[in-house]
Every structure is written in structure tokens, then in C-alpha cells.
């Protein structure tokens, strides 16, 4: 490291010494090439989209070649990246070639930590609050912009690099590289204490770090990424500890455009939890078997998922939101104006096989989530039962004789004194069967019981769960999970009780049409849901028009289907894999690849 770089690190208000290659998880990092992936017979946790031959490159040597050819380069990127390792790896390449480089670290121009903390406090809620409110700040607010924009390109150096989050705010006339990091890897690093929030010098408690990431860091950095997308020259995937893969910006933008007119699958990721089960662990062989359980799969939670491109066997992941930043109109069609760059539908699994019940919970009203947390849509959900045992159930809606104040008193006593609650006295328990759809509009009390594999088809928001009762259990770290009785009782709809629950909150399938061996069922959602659900049962094939609406699909019974889109794209998907047909695809064909009847769920915006 040259003297200028050493001075920068010594004077920065961010302590770079904590940056260690650590992850707190049993799960492996996605391999950088398909040659390192054990291809499964069934569900694939590493789906990818072809980018064309010769479009992805590997290693710091090739990246250094590009930088040397450019002479002056900005390397911007996301929070959580191991910036020190990137700089040191590049400097080794420059030194090997005998090239003197002026490397400037953007973090040296951050405002003092106490100043940034004061700005952040407005959006973090009261001390120990579970949630904050989405910030109105911009990334520029974190920096001494005058100093950053005064950073000099030194003529007596053969190379000039400005590196780190926000580096492009400098206004340097230079080639632009962007370093991305998948959200699952960011959170594994966060849990290990290997990274810290933007502008912080030390990691905090993981829950506090996640809150600041969600409500502040990710908000400002996503907006920054969106602004940079049209002019990025190089995209770099930095999820690995020693390696990188990269591609030219124009290749990625063309890949996103093609993806927005065909069919694709996001890369899912998985997390254990207090109530987690064994269904996914047993049926998805690529998952690490050392995890105690898997509670969640992030099948399609756009703020958290990535999209993986492939070229000549090399893999490169970018965040899903890049697709929405560039191709919202193609993806959402006639709903693009309403939702903009937000992808509004969420698919995830809740696995309670050999596990436990979820907490008794509800989600905020639209007005509440807007005013309290800064979200634009609320957490309206449904539970589709993909699989279950005979004794499985779903808690949904109140008993007819519910008394709000008595129920609250019982919950508060339980939370205060550790007293068990006979929840079935207050909340209805419904028997669950495969392919049932339970409707959970905001403000509805609910919980998935044990022995279910739930496909949660929902609106995109995913962290605003007000827990009222958690069965007196501890989380995987031996700590109580937060209980949110006050938030819950500001939102609960006590009219959702008695027979009204069965009439309004359990979907009754209706046959829309039967033709040529295809039966299409409508699984009506609640009037408050902005999405709807169909199921297609077929033995051979079915052709579907998008009618300028995005479709999110999953094979929920059968072995595999092939998808053929109007532009000639062909992809195969197996049981329980989620895939997306953008509105601009026009039409597509589903072809059953096995002798078993195929059942495919299709969720779409109303």
C-alpha cells in the first residue's frame, strides 16, 4: 500500500481494521463458476440467466488490466464490501507491473461519526425500537462534499483511483466501476461483526445494524445506485473473499433488457429461525445440512434477492432492483406507473415441518405503515399450503366472543410474567390441507401452525410483523424475540371474527375455464389485496397471454415444466421453484415435463 493510501486509512473516521473475511452462517457462498456447483436433481438454489459468450471476466488481474488502460477510475459500490481487500488486491497487481497508483479512499471524506449518528437518529425511532422510518436523506448528506470534490487527480501518478461508497460524488471525469454485494452475504457479514453501517467505525448489535441498514443505508445507496446505473462502465460482484467476477456495464444493461421481455428466476436464499422446520433441508439437497433448520426462503423478496448472470461458466450477481430501475415498464406493464421501481409481489416459504408455530401476529394498516415507517404499500399476505401433515393448522381470525381488553390483558401478563396462553380460546385454528389459500389482509390476527410448508404470496413489505405471543420461546441465540403488543392493538381488526372469518378469509376456488385438458381455477383474494391468484392444472401444456400484467408463478404439484416465451427463450423449472414472466413477454407456453399432472400457481396484480 503506498504512503498516500496509508495516510487515508489512518485519517479516516472508519476503522478499516475490523474488515475481516468473516461470515456467521453454515451456508456456503454462491460459487463463482458453474463448474463448482453440484447440480441437483430437483430444486436449484443457484439459478442463472445466460448473458452470452465472453461477457463475464474473473480476477483482479483482468480488472487491473482494465484500470490501467483507463488511467483514471472511480470504484463506487455498496455498503458491506471489503474495500480494503479490493484495494490491496489491486495494488499488488499494480506493483507487479511496476505502476505507481494514487489510491484515494472515499470514506476519508465522510462527516464525523457523531454528526452522521445525529442525522440518522431521526429515522431510527426511540431507543430499542424494532423499526425506524425510511430516511429522506441522500448519500451526499453523509459526506463533506466540498472536500470530496476537491480530491485531486495527481498527474505524477500513472493511475488515479477513488474507491468506496459514494466515490462518484466526487465528480471526477473517470471511468466508473460499481461493486455490488448480495443482501444475504451482507447480512452474514453483519452477523459476524465483520462490517459496520455507513459512517460507523464499529459494528453494533446485529438487530440495530439491520435497522439502520434497512431504513437508512439501503435507502440512500439504492437511490445512488439507480442514478449511476445508466453510466456504469464495469459491474463487479464482490461476494467472495478472495475472488471477483465482473462484466461491462453495457452487457449487464442489455442482459436486463432481454430478461425484462422473457422469463427469469431470482436467486433464492434461506435463513434458520426459532420455529424453523426440516422440509426444505430434506428436499433441497444443495442446502447446507449443518444448519439447525430453515425457517424462511427468500424466493422472491425483491429488496433482498439478486439476479445471477452466466457467461462461459462464470457467474455474476447483481441486485434485483437493477432490473426494476432500468426496466420497470417492461416488467410491470400497465402497473408500472403505480409501483414505479418497486416490485410489489413477494413469494417466500415458511417451513414449520418438525418445527413450531409462528408467533401470533398481525401487520399494519396502509396508513399506519406509511406514517410510522415510510413504506408505500403494506404487508397484505396470503398463505398457500404447498405441503402439510394431517395435523397441520393455520391460526386466523378471532373467536366470536373475543373481548379486546381481556385479550390484551392476557397477552401483557404472558409477556411480563412468562405465563402460557391458550391461544385457541381467542384465535381460531383452521385445519390446513394442501392447496388451501388463507387470506391475511393487513390488521388480521394470524399464525402458521407447525407441520406446514407455506408458500406465502404477499405484498413485498416483509419486516413489519407485530408479534403478540411467541409461545414463550427464545430465538436461536437464546434471547427472547421482541413482542409488539402496542403496535398490534393500534392495528387489529376485531370485526374479523366468528363465521365471518370462514366466509371472507378462506379462499374458495372457482373454475374459470376447462379446455383441452386444462383447468384454470380462480383462488379469490380479499378485497384489500391488490394481487390475485389463479391455479392452472394441466397434463400436457397451456398457453397464456400476459395482457400487459406481470405473472409470478410456481410449480406446486408435479415434477417439472418448460417455459417458452414469445421471444424464443426456453427455461425449465422444477417443483417449488419460483419464476417470473414480465408483462412485456406478451405470451408464454407452459409444457408439462412429466407424466404427473402439473399444477402451477400464478399470482398477478389486479
Amino acid 5: pLDDT = 32
| pLDDT for position 20 | 61
**What's the pLDDT at 431?**
98
Q: What is the mean pLDDT of residues 541-561?
A: 98
CB 273 within 8 A of CB 476: yes
Contact between 582 and 260 under an 8 Å Cβ cutoff? The reply is yes
* Each residue's pLDDT tens digit, 495-514: 999 999 999 999 999 999 99
Helical packing angle, 3-11 and 83-96, nearest 10°: 170
Q: What is the dihedral of CA 385, 391, 394, 395, to 10 degrees?
A: 180
Same CATH topology for 321-504 and 510-605: the answer is: yes
| pTM reported for the whole predicted model | 0.95
Is residue 345 classed as helix, strand or coil in its secondary structure? Answer: strand
Q: Give phi and psi for 394, each to the nearest 5.
A: -130, 130
**Which cell is 164 given?**
468506496
| CA dihedral sign, ordered 189, 193, 195, 197 | positive
Is pLDDT at 9 greater than 50 in this prediction?
no
Q: Give the other-Cβ count within 10 Å of 429's Cβ.
A: 16
Q: What is the CATH number of domain 321-504?
A: 2.60.120.10
Q: Which fold has domain 1-15+78-243?
A: Rossmann fold (3.40.50)
Whether the per-residue pLDDT at 7 is higher than 90: the answer is no
- Residue pair 547/585 in contact by the 8 Å Cβ criterion: no
Whether residue 362 is predicted with pLDDT greater than 60 in this model: the reply is: yes
Q: Is the pLDDT of residue 391 over 90?
A: yes
Q: Where are the alpha helices (DSSP H) in 213-248?
A: 218-228
CA distances from 138 to 156, 216, 217, 481 (A): 34, 9, 9, 32
Choose among 463, 506, 457: nearest CA to 487.
463
pLDDT of residue 12: 37
Question: Using one digit for the tens of pLDDT, what is the confidence trace for 41-94?
Answer: 899 999 999 999 999 999 999 999 999 999 999 999 999 999 999 999 999 999
In which band, very low, low, confident or very high, does the pLDDT at 38 lie, cut at 50, 70 and 90?
confident
Angle at 13 between CA 9 and CA 16, to 5 degrees: 45
Residue 134: predicted pLDDT? 98
SS3 label, residue 198: coil
pLDDT tens profile 185-210? 999 999 999 999 999 999 999 999 99
Measured CA to CA in angstroms, residue 167 lies from 9, 16, 43, 145, 147 at distances of 15, 17, 40, 11, 12
What is the C-alpha to C-alpha distance for residues 521 and 546, in angstroms, rounded to an integer? 17
Domain map (residue ranges) of the chain: 1-15+78-243, 321-504, 510-605
Q: For residue range 122-164, list pLDDT tens digits in order.
A: 999 988 899 999 999 999 999 999 999 999 899 999 999 999 9
pLDDT at 13: 41
Name the band, by pLDDT with cuts 50, 70 and 90, for residue 14.
very low
Sheet architecture: strand order including 296-300: 269-271, 296-300, 345-351, 452-459, 381-388, 437-440
Task: Specify the residue for cell string 400497465.
Answer: 334
Contact 229, 180 (CB under 8 A): no
- Predicted confidence at residue 22, as pLDDT, reads 85
Q: Domain 510-605: which topology?
A: Jelly Rolls (2.60.120)
Q: Are 535 and 599 in contact (CB under 8 A)?
A: yes
Rounded percentage of the chain residues whose pLDDT exceeds 90: 94
pLDDT per residue over 428-461, tens digit each?
Answer: 999 999 999 999 999 999 999 999 999 999 999 9
Average predicted confidence (pLDDT) for the chain: 95
User: pLDDT at residue 2 above 90?
Assistant: no
Amino acid at each position: 500500500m503506498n504512503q498516500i493510501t496509508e495516510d487515508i486509512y489512518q485519517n479516516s473516521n472508519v476503522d478499516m481494521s475490523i474488515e475481516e473475511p468473516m461470515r456467521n452462517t453454515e451456508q456456503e457462498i454462491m460459487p463463482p463458476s458453474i463448474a463448482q456447483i453440484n447440480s441437483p436433481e430437483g430444486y436449484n438454489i443457484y439459478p442463472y440467466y445466460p448473458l452470452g459468450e465472453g461477457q463475464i471476466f474473473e480476477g483482479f488481474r483482468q480488472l487491473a488490466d482494465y484500470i490501467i488502460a483507463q488511467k483514471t477510475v472511480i470504484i463506487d459500490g455498496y455498503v458491506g464490501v471489503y474495500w480494503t481487500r479490493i484495494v490491496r488486491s489491486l495494488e499488488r497487481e499494480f506493483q507487479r507491473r511496476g505502476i505507481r497508483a494514487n489510491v484515494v479512499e472515499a470514506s476519508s471524506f465522510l462527516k464525523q461519526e457523531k454528526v452522521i449518528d445525529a442525522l440518522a437518529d431521526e429515522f431510527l425511532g426511540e431507543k430499542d425500537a424494532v423499526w425506524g422510518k425510511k430516511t429522506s436523506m441522500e448519500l451526499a448528506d453523509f459526506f463533506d462534499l466540498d472536500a470530496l470534490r476537491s480530491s485531486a487527480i495527481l498527474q505524477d501518478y500513472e493511475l488515479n483511483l477513488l474507491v468506496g461508497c459514494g466515490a462518484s460524488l466526487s465528480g471526477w471525469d473517470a471511468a466508473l466501476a460499481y461493486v455490488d454485494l448480495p443482501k444475504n452475504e451482507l447480512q452474514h457479514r453483519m452477523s459476524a461483526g465483520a462490517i459496520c453501517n455507513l459512517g460507523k467505525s464499529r459494528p453494533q448489535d446485529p438487530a440495530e445494524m439491520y435497522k439502520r441498514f434497512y431504513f437508512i443505508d439501503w435507502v440512500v445507496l439504492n437511490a445512488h445506485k439507480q442514478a449511476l446505473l445508466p453510466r456504469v462502465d464495469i459491474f463487479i460482484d464482490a461476494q467472495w473473499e478472495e475472488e471477483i467476477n465482473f462484466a461491462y456495464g453495457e452487457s449487464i444493461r442489455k442482459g436486463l433488457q432481454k430478461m425484462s421481455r422473457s422469463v427469469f428466476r431470482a436467486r433464492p436464499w434461506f435463513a434458520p429461525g426459532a420455529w424453523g422446520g426440516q422440509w426444505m433441508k430434506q428436499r433441497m439437497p444443495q442446502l447446507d445440512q449443518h444448519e439447525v433448520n430453515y425457517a424462511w426462503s427468500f424466493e422472491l423478496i425483491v429488496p433482498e434477492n439478486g439476479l445471477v448472470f452466466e457467461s462461459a461458466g462464470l457467474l455474476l450477481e447483481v441486485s434485483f432492483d437493477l432490473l426494476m430501475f432500468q426496466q420497470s415498464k417492461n416488467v410491470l406493464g400497465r402497473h408500472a406507473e403505480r409501483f414505479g421501481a418497486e416490485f410489489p409481489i413477494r413469494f417466500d416459504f415458511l417451513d414449520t415441518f418438525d418445527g413450531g408455530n409462528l408467533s401470533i401476529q398481525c401487520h399494519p394498516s396502509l396508513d399506519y405503515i406509511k406514517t410510522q415507517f415510510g413504506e408505500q404499500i403494506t404487508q397484505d399476505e396470503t398463505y398457500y399450503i404447498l405441503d402439510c401433515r394431517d395435523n397441520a393448522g393455520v391460526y386466523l381470525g378471532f373467536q366470536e366472543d373475543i373481548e379486546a381488553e381481556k385479550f390484551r390483558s392476557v397477552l401483557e401478563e404472558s409477556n411480563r410474567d412468562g405465563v402460557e396462553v391458550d391461544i385457541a380460546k381467542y384465535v381460531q385454528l383452521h385445519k390446513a390441507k394442501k392447496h388451501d389459500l388463507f387470506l391475511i389482509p393487513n390488521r388480521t390476527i394470524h399464525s402458521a401452525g407447525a407441520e406446514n410448508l407455506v408458500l406465502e404470496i404477499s405484498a413485498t413489505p416483509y419486516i413489519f410483523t407485530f408479534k403478540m405471543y411467541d409461545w414463550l420461546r427464545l430465538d436461536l441465540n437464546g434471547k427472547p424475540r421482541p413482542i409488539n403488543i402496542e403496535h398490534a392493538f393500534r392495528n387489529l381488526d376485531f370485526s374479523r371474527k366468528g363465521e365471518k372469518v370462514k366466509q371472507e378469509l378462506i379462499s374458495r376456488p372457482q373454475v374459470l375455464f376447462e379446455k383441452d385438458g386444462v383447468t384454470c381455477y380462480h383462488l379469490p383474494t380479499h378485497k384489500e389485496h391488490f394481487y390475485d391468484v389463479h391455479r392452472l392444472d394441466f397434463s400436457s401444456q397451456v398457453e397464456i397471454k400476459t395482457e400487459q400484467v406481470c405473472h409470478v408463478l410456481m410449480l406446486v404439484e408435479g415434477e417439472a415444466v418448460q417455459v417458452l416465451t414469445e421471444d424464443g427463450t426456453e427455461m425449465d423449472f422444477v417443483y417449488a421453484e419460483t419464476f417470473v414472466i414480465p408483462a412485456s413477454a406478451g405470451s408464454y407456453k407452459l409444457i408439462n415435463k412429466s407424466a404427473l399432472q402439473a399444477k402451477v400457481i400464478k399470482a398477478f396484480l389486479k
